[in-house]
Amino acid sequence: MMTDGYSTYKKKDDICDDVCGQEVSRMSRIRCMMQSLDLRTFIILFVIIPSGFVGIYFHGQKLTYFLRPLWQSPPKPFIPIPHYYHENVSMASLCEIHGWKLREYPRRVYDAVLFNNEIDMLTIRWKELYPYITQFVLLESYSTFTSIPKPHFFAINQERFDFVKPRLTYATIPGGSRKGKNPFVEEAYQRVAVDRLLRIAGIEDDDLLIMSDIDEIPSGHTIDLLRWCDGSPPIMHLNLNNYLYSFEFNLDHDSWRASVHKYEKGRTRYAHYRQTDYLFADSGWHCSFCFRKISDFVFKMKAYSHSDRVRFRHYLDPKRIQNVICNGDDLYDMLPEEYTFRDIIGKMGPIPHSYSAVHLPSYLLNHADEYKYLLPGNCVRETG
């Protein structure tokens, strides 16, 4: 009996060996392969490798950003220009302390912006700058940078801006004709259109031109200083305090894309990238994604040039967005865009809450009830 049983077992094993060595069905091959795998190989093939692919799919962008110091060098550092100001110091003294000279009369100043849907931020911006601006220039498109159709939000709300109408050059542009292209192409197209609009508005050589997004707000006293003083560089970037969601979350002090130019016909081009090494310290505020309604967050996430960061549909979930705002987290679940491991690690995690509302735009504080959502301690947004 023992011998017969052993013989039977060997026969079955021999049959399997024969089958695995011949052309057989796919399922038979898989069964044979599985028989030859040990536990360690099984774990590597069916647990570790698939988990790696899943991790790369969900967190590959984080890994890329974390390793950024290995594949990209930091940009050339700016040349900082100290900024002196106090409301009780005369303009002549302020010009002198900067090493500049007081003019006999102030330069004309043009403030040019591309408009999407930031009604509140535009109001705060224009109220801050109104005393110092010769002409406000605004361009609005029928579509976003990602070719999403949209109404003319400015035209719909134009009664809110009656105070600038005598000084406003406003135009619309079709947009959307470059659907399917890189959204930065559409953005560049609209910025070229601003150049044309500035000429229509009557800008001339040596006038000051502010180039910035609507949520990059120069302080009024900064622009007043630059229009009254001779001797500043012809182009200066503005170093703005960088806020996210509201003035409760002070991300850093490193916003620099806003700039002021002494206009030169044929040379000055409206742009939003680095154009000089000079950076004028503490020149205003950058309040990114500072919206009243959750729906505005969703709209911008899908509409602006970095819409590719919406990698998963749940990023647009209103409940998630509300939690992100109140926690000071990143809307796109991204790591900080920095160039050294020290800076990346230092900025990881939620933005600390700030309870200071000192030195913010005066119109915001004078209308605190209307813009309460922008002030510390008021992170809950309207859902509409």
Q: Would you call 28 exposed, middle or buried from its count of C-beta atoms within 10 A (0-12, 13-18, 19+)? A: middle
pLDDT digits (tens, 9 = 90+) for 181-229: 677 777 888 888 999 999 999 999 999 999 999 999 999 999 999 999 9
Region of residue 245 (phi > 0: left; psi between -120 and 50: alpha; otherwise: beta): left
Residue 189 lies in a domain: yes
Q: Give me the mean pLDDT over the 22-29 stretch.
A: 57
Residue 11 has pLDDT above 50, yes or no: no
| 52 Cβ neighbours under 8 A, 6+ residues apart | none
Residue 159 per-residue DSSP state: G
User: Do 100 and 199 belong to one domain?
Assistant: yes
Whether 123 maps to a domain, the answer reads yes
Q: Which residues contact 215 (CB under 8 A, 6 or more apart)?
A: 118, 121, 125, 286, 287, 288, 290
Does residue 213 share a domain with residue 318? no
**Is residue 299 very low, low, confident or very high in pLDDT (cuts 50, 70, 90)?**
confident
Domain region containing 347 = 294-374
Average pLDDT estimate for 295-309 = 78
Order across the sheet with 216-218: list the strands: 216-218, 284-288, 240-244, 250-255
What one-letter code names the amino acid at 274?
A: R
In a domain, 122, yes or no: yes
| Mean pLDDT value across the chain | 86
Decide: 265 and 206 in contact? Cβ < 8 Å: no
Of 285, 298, 287, the closest CA to residue 382 belongs to 298
DSSP character for 277?
S
Walk across the sheet containing 109-115 and list its strands. Answer: 79-81, 278-280, 235-238, 259-262, 208-211, 109-115, 135-141, 168-173
Q: Which two tokens stand for residue 204?
A: 């001339």
Does 253 map to a domain? yes
Q: pLDDT at position 38, please?
A: 63
Q: What are the residues whose beta carbons fall under 8 Å from the beta carbon of 365, sequence distance 6 or more?
A: 357
Q: Is the domain of 211 the same as that of 342?
A: no
Element containing residue 344 per DSSP (H, E): helix 341-347
Helix (H) or strand (E) holding 57: helix 49-66
Does residue 155 share a domain with residue 304? Answer: no
Q: Is residue 205 part of a domain?
A: yes
**pLDDT for the residue 51:** 62
Q: Which of the residue ranges 5-14, 136-145, 341-350 would you say has the lowest mean pLDDT?
A: 5-14
245/284 same-domain check: yes
Alpha carbons 155 and 217: distance in angstroms, whole number: 22
Please compute, for residue 93, the number of CA atoms within 13 A of its CA located in the half-sphere on the CB side. Answer: 7
Domain's final residue, options 288, 314, 334: 288
Number of domains forming the structure of the chain? 2
pLDDT at 271 exceeding the cut of 90: yes
Tell whether 282 and 216 lie within a shared domain.
Answer: yes
Domain contains 226: yes
Residues 264 and 318 in one domain: no
Same-domain pairing of 229 and 367: no
User: Is residue 98 in some structural domain?
Assistant: yes
> Stretch 89-115: mean pLDDT, rounded?
97
Question: What is the pLDDT averaged over residues 324-339?
Answer: 88
Whether 113 and 225 share a structural domain: yes
313 lies in the same domain as 213: no
Q: Where are the alpha helices (DSSP H) in 176-267?
A: 183-201, 220-228
Q: Which of 226, 260, 288 is the last residue of a domain?
A: 288
Tokens 């406000």 locate to: 136
Residues 240, 145, single domain; the answer is: yes
CATH number for the domain including 272?
3.90.550
Strands (E), 52-119: 79-81, 101-102, 109-115
The residue with greater pLDDT, 179 or 40, is 40
Q: Look at residues 256, 288, 320 and tell me which one is the last residue of a structural domain.
A: 288
3 assigned to some structural domain: no
* Residue 211 half-sphere exposure toward CB, CA atoms < 13 A: 24
Co-location of 171 and 218 in the same domain: yes
